[in-house]
Chain A
Amino acid sequence: MQKLQAGSLLILHGTQSGNAQDVAERIGREARRRYLRYTVKSLQDLSTDELATAHFAVVVVSTTGQAKLPASTKAFWRSLLRRSLAPDLYCNLTYGVFGLGDSGYQNFNTAAKKLDRRLQALGARPLLPKGLADEQQPGGYDAALDPWLAQLWTVLRPHFPLPPDVPQLASGDTSVALDSKLCCTLLPDITNGTANGSHSGLMDAAEVQAASRAFHALESAATSHHTPANGPAGPCPDSPFMAQLLSNERITATDHFQDVRHLVFGTAGSGLTWEPGDALAILPRQSDANVHALLHRLGIPAFARVRIELPGESSHDGQPASIEVSAAAVVAGVVDVAGSSPRRFLFEVLAQLATEEREVDRLQYFASPEGRDDLHTYNQGEGRTLLEVLDDFKNVVIPLEWILQAAPRLKPRLFSLASAAICHPGEAHVCAAVIDYQTPHRRRKRGIVTSWLAGAYASQQGPRVPIWIEPGSMHLPVDPGVPLILISAGTGIAPFRAFLEHRHSARKQGQEMAPCYLYFGCRGHAADFYYADQWKQYQQDGVLDRDKGLRIAFSRDGPAKRYVTHLIQEDNRNLWQLIQEGANIYVAGSATKLAQSVLTALELLVAEAAPMPNAAAQKYVRQLEAGRRYFVEAW
């Protein structure tokens, strides 16, 4: 166990998609500017004992969809919940908690709230009230972070006095000193322009993956985050399975506004298996044109090779301290060139690198607290891509190492698996809505993965798609005698198709199964009633209860709009009986619309059918969730 440096600030993050880590790194940069010693660490790499040796800590934690702490913090959190921990375990710790949440989901910022309470219960003292950021606020989480950090530095200062000759920084000063953690050197071109591969510039998928793997290993060495020694078995983010697209079928009516696809991926020979409720992770493929456009913008020749190294490090622990890769390959595998919007940090970096007066002015404005809302409107609000930002500020010269550190990273997109592995050997099904919308300034934006796949040919010659499995948060109960209440809308039906196929298959093999009840909301029978024939078959076979097992609400077919919540209300007595018999309830669909309204409907159902007072009904539903009988998968 490492004893942490005395007189330093421990900055911890529990991150799901990288946001908490980004915030933690920002706090580190600001600490550095203020001459504080600090360490940035993931909760994944921290033990509860180690935390007890710290005197000052800041913890940044995201609350994910269902109020659970991020997967990366699971071990630490479980360890922290042990009843056997002494109530004065952290009596030497003074701390601050900053939560990243989203008011679009139920359970706003509960991870931060729970962590704050638990630390206090174990004797730690808060430096300042917890900060709770809301992604939905204009300006995103930076809106809450800026004032909270200003307060943090003020309360920390007496504990970390400055040397007498060093000037005090204004508390709202968010400027950065650029201190690169990487060093990129262009390698001399020894091939006279005839590099590996043809001049057509098509990148080899294997080379891209290898470059990506090497880069992540290098980064892990820098943060001393230990990757498993032998590498994980089976397909994973660093080593995805390249699946063929076997089928690509539009399942919404052609005159319907939404384009939803039923996709079938070939998994034969991949070793992939999953449980119903798990998700398929798909790594987007970046077009060669976009990758080369970025290289061109950075002034890097298309076929250049680069050495990337950690400055001042020599090889240790058997981990590399430098790698040599094709610039195009590492960009294609690591950087999100034309997809997600950059974070504020990139603008801070650009502001320091800019030289043209107008650009310097504007970038400094965007990087400042005053310009934060305007930045959000220009950047996230418009879905501005890295390429677009660099094109808008076309005079800034940016070295590759800053792109690798400050630009958005290529991330997989997750889709709930819509098939049971046993029913379709060698196949993985996905039900995906193609993302295509207009921004507030009427720019058209399309989802990277969905628009790529929608246009993809399902054939031998078609593209290979990098995939792996990510575990989901809801699964079938082990006991087949548990009745299932499945509530979904739109593409939310995907995981339930996996559930029901699994139950259907078990039933065919002679297993006794309790009936299931499927509630589905969509717009119209012809428009988007997905897999209609399959559900009707299941009802005939008894997988879905023959009487009440298939309940559909069409919102645009009839004179009155019908939603699943209406159906829940109509069936309240039957549903209450099922709940009392031990049924599990599963909800899947869009966060803002479905999850909240179903929760309210369930509370109402319990209150009316039991009957019991509203507050008791709410508590009852919460207990269902705590008792792992009520699951929500919202996106």
Chain B
Amino acid sequence: MQVSQSLGTPLESFLVSTASAAAVSDHLKGRTFSNVVSLSGRAGFHASGGLQGFTALVSPGGRLLVQEPTGSQDGLCKALLLSGFVNARAAQAVAGHPTQSAAQAEKPAWQTGAKSSISLRKPAPLKLNGHAAPAILDDDLIDEDDLLTEEDRLPPPAAVTCAPNAAKKACKNCTCGRAEAEAEGKPAAPVKLTQDMLDNPKTNCGSCQLGDAFRCASCPYRGLPKFEMGKKIELPNDFLAVDA
């Protein structure tokens, strides 16, 4: 009770021992405690050899307080450190034993056998165009290929090839026959360009001469530059040739 009060901890996870660690842990069969107090009437009891057994009794992050009739708190602290405890410091001797010295320390929070990976990869080199690679630690990443199913890997449906008459709009006042074909729901047959049409271009719809931007899909003048009505259109030589 007194000890508990002086340590400021609840009684639950508390062990007070006056025997050797080995004997105690045998008896307790592998249990650990977050607060362990070891009191001894024998100086030198808590030499690092004697402390070894207490390592197993203290839970990770837990506290150990040792007390014995020695003049040296420093010696106790050192012994604690050598046994693998951390943050060893002088402690108030439990009341009633003024000739005794006490020291306390904590057991590190990580378990024996804990693993932590060290990134051995060289950091990404500075990119040649000067944009530095971002410093992302080589944290454990999932395999991104696992995100794809078999179905995802299938090729998509084949792209519909562009039908020249896929466009739907005939000009107002159409004269090339497209409007009639559209009205009948039939695909419009492109009107063939003739030399005569090049020498004396004529159109009633008013769109053909404005250039490709305004021509419908079946316009015979597609590909040709803008022209003036009745004025001969100059062409590259092979324009009228059938596609090879």
List residues of chain A with CB under 8 Å of any chain B CB.
74-75, 77-79, 81-84, 101, 103, 107-110, 113-114, 117-118, 121, 132, 134, 136-138, 228, 231-237, 272-274, 278, 358, 362, 365, 370-371, 373-374, 377-378, 381-382, 384, 389, 392-393, 439-444, 468-471, 622, 626
Chain A residues near B155 (CB-CB < 8 A): 103, 108
Q: A83-B140, A108-B155, A362-B214 are in contact. Are A442 and B223 (CB under 8 A)?
A: yes
Task: Pull 9 A–B residue pairs with CB atoms less than 8 Å apart, ordered by A.
Answer: A81-B141, A110-B152, A114-B148, A278-B128, A377-B217, A393-B213, A442-B239, A469-B128, A470-B129
User: A113 — nearest CB in chain B belongs to which residue?
Assistant: B152
Chain A residues near B143 (CB-CB < 8 A): 626
Name the segment of B30-38, B83-91, B159-167, B178-186 touching the other chain: B159-167
Chain A residues near B202 (CB-CB < 8 A): none
CB <8 Å contact, B130 and A392 = no
Chain A residues near B160 (CB-CB < 8 A): 137-138
B143-190 residues at the A interface, CB under 8 angstroms: 143-145, 147-148, 152-153, 155-156, 158-162, 164, 166-169
- Which of A82, A228, A382, A439 is the one whose CB lies under 8 Å from B141? A82
Q: Contact string, B126-138, partner A, CB cutoff 8 A, digits 1/0?
A: 1111111010100
Q: A272-B128, A442-B239, A626-B145 are in contact. Are A138 and B156 (CB under 8 A)?
A: no
Q: A138-B166, A373-B166, A374-B217 are in contact. Are A236 and B130 (CB under 8 A)?
A: yes
B210 within 8 A of A: yes
Q: A234-B130, A237-B129 are in contact. Are A137 and B159 (CB under 8 A)?
A: yes
User: B131 — nearest CB in chain A belongs to which residue?
Assistant: A232
CB <8 Å contact, A392 and B156 = no
List residues of chain B with CB under 8 Å of any chain A CB.
126-132, 134, 136, 139-145, 147-148, 152-153, 155-156, 158-162, 164, 166-169, 210-214, 217, 222-223, 226, 236, 239
Chain A residues near B152 (CB-CB < 8 A): 110, 113
CB <8 Å contact, A82 and B139 = yes
Choose among B128, B140, B148, B155 the residue with the greatest number of A CB atoms under 10 Å from its CB: B128
Chain A residues near B153 (CB-CB < 8 A): 107
Q: A392-B213, A441-B222 are in contact. Are A136 and B159 (CB under 8 A)?
A: yes
CB <8 Å contact, A358 and B131 = no
Q: How far is the CA of A223 from the CA of B141 in the complex (A)?
A: 31
CB <8 Å contact, B211 and A392 = yes
Q: How far is the CA of A137 from the CA of B166 in the complex (A)?
A: 13
Q: How far is the CA of A107 from the CA of B140 in the complex (A)?
A: 25
Chain B residues near A371 (CB-CB < 8 A): 169
Q: How far is the CA of A278 from the CA of B141 in the complex (A)?
A: 26
User: A110 — nearest CB in chain B belongs to which residue?
Assistant: B148
Q: How far is the CA of A101 from the CA of B156 in the complex (A)?
A: 10
CB <8 Å contact, A83 and B159 = no
CB <8 Å contact, B156 and A441 = no
Q: How far is the CA of A81 from the CA of B207 in the complex (A)?
A: 56
Q: How far is the CB of A467 from chain B (nearest CB, A)?
A: 11
CB <8 Å contact, A233 and B130 = yes
- Which of B159, B164, B223 is the one whose CB lies under 8 Å from A134? B159
Chain A residues near B162 (CB-CB < 8 A): 138, 377, 381
Q: How far is the CB of A385 from chain B (nearest CB, A)?
A: 13
Chain B residues near A236 (CB-CB < 8 A): 129-131
- Which of B130, B142, B164 is the one whose CB lies under 8 Å from A81? B142
CB <8 Å contact, A374 and B167 = yes
User: A392 — nearest CB in chain B belongs to which residue?
Assistant: B213
Q: How far is the CA of A264 from the CA of B226 in the complex (A)?
A: 41
Q: A75-B136, A377-B162 are in contact. Are A441 and B129 (CB under 8 A)?
A: no
Chain B residues near A468 (CB-CB < 8 A): 128-129
Chain A residues near B168 (CB-CB < 8 A): 370, 374
Chain A residues near B239 (CB-CB < 8 A): 442
Q: How far is the CA of A487 from the CA of B159 in the complex (A)?
A: 28
Chain B residues near A83 (CB-CB < 8 A): 139-142
Chain A residues near B129 (CB-CB < 8 A): 232, 234-237, 468-471
Chain A residues near B156 (CB-CB < 8 A): 101, 103, 108-109, 132, 134
User: A118 — nearest CB in chain B belongs to which residue?
Assistant: B147
Chain B residues near A228 (CB-CB < 8 A): 130-132
CB <8 Å contact, B148 and A392 = no
User: A362 — nearest CB in chain B belongs to which residue?
Assistant: B214
Q: How far is the CA of A270 from the CA of B85 in the complex (A)?
A: 59
User: A444 — nearest CB in chain B belongs to which residue?
Assistant: B236
Q: How far is the CB of A293 from chain B (nearest CB, A)?
A: 16
Other A-B pairs beyond A83-B140, A228-B130, 18, CB < 8 Å: A81-B144, A84-B140, A107-B153, A108-B155, A108-B156, A110-B148, A118-B144, A132-B156, A232-B131, A234-B129, A236-B130, A273-B128, A362-B213, A371-B169, A373-B167, A392-B226, A442-B239, A626-B143
CB <8 Å contact, B141 and A113 = no
Chain A residues near B167 (CB-CB < 8 A): 373-374, 377
Q: How far is the CB of B124 from chain A (nearest CB, A)?
A: 10
User: A76 — nearest CB in chain B belongs to which residue?
Assistant: B134
Choose among B159, B164, B213, B223 the residue with the greatest number of A CB atoms under 10 Å from its CB: B213
Q: How far is the CB of B157 from chain A (nearest CB, A)?
A: 8
- Which of A84, A113, A358, A470 is the one whose CB lies under 8 Å from B147? A113
CB <8 Å contact, A114 and B127 = no
Q: How far is the CA of A622 from the CA of B149 in the complex (A)?
A: 13
Chain A residues near B140 (CB-CB < 8 A): 82-84
Q: A81-B144, A113-B147, A138-B162 are in contact. Are A231 and B217 (CB under 8 A)?
A: no
CB <8 Å contact, A274 and B128 = yes
CB <8 Å contact, B130 and A231 = yes
Q: How far is the CB of A471 from chain B (nearest CB, A)?
A: 6
Q: How far is the CA of A347 from the CA of B170 in the complex (A)?
A: 20
Q: A103-B159, A118-B147, A137-B159 are in contact. Are A84 and B222 (CB under 8 A)?
A: no
Q: How far is the CB of A2 from chain B (nearest CB, A)?
A: 18
Q: How far is the CA of A22 from the CA of B194 in the complex (A)?
A: 42
CB <8 Å contact, B127 and A471 = yes
CB <8 Å contact, B136 and A78 = yes
Q: Which are the 8 A-B pairs with shortest beta-carbon distances?
A: A232-B130, A441-B223, A136-B159, A392-B213, A75-B134, A81-B141, A114-B147, A117-B147
Chain B residues near A117 (CB-CB < 8 A): 147-148
CB <8 Å contact, B131 and A382 = no
Q: How far is the CA of A117 from the CA of B149 in the complex (A)?
A: 10
Chain B residues near A392 (CB-CB < 8 A): 210-214, 226
CB <8 Å contact, B141 and A622 = no
Q: How far is the CA of A110 from the CA of B217 in the complex (A)?
A: 35
- Which of B128, B136, B226 is the one whose CB lies under 8 Å from A234? B128
Q: How far is the CA of A103 from the CA of B236 in the complex (A)?
A: 35
Q: How far is the CA of A77 from the CA of B212 in the complex (A)?
A: 44
Chain A residues near B164 (CB-CB < 8 A): 377, 440
Chain B residues near A470 (CB-CB < 8 A): 129
User: B141 — nearest CB in chain A belongs to which residue?
Assistant: A81
Chain B residues near A374 (CB-CB < 8 A): 167-169, 217
Q: How far is the CB of B219 from chain A (nearest CB, A)?
A: 10
Q: How far is the CB of A136 from chain B (nearest CB, A)?
A: 4
Q: How far is the CA of A38 from the CA of B146 in the complex (A)?
A: 33
Chain A residues near B211 (CB-CB < 8 A): 392
Q: How far is the CB of A362 from chain B (nearest CB, A)?
A: 6
Q: How far is the CA of A405 from the CA of B8 in the complex (A)?
A: 70
Chain B residues near A77 (CB-CB < 8 A): 144
Q: How far is the CA of A374 from the CA of B214 in the complex (A)?
A: 10
Q: How far is the CB of A238 from chain B (nearest CB, A)?
A: 9
Q: How far is the CA of A138 from the CA of B162 in the complex (A)?
A: 6
Chain B residues near A626 (CB-CB < 8 A): 143, 145
CB <8 Å contact, B210 and A358 = yes
Chain A residues near B161 (CB-CB < 8 A): 138
User: A231 — nearest CB in chain B belongs to which residue?
Assistant: B130
Chain B residues near A132 (CB-CB < 8 A): 156
Q: How far is the CA of A113 from the CA of B43 in the complex (A)?
A: 71
Q: How far is the CB of A351 from chain B (nearest CB, A)?
A: 12
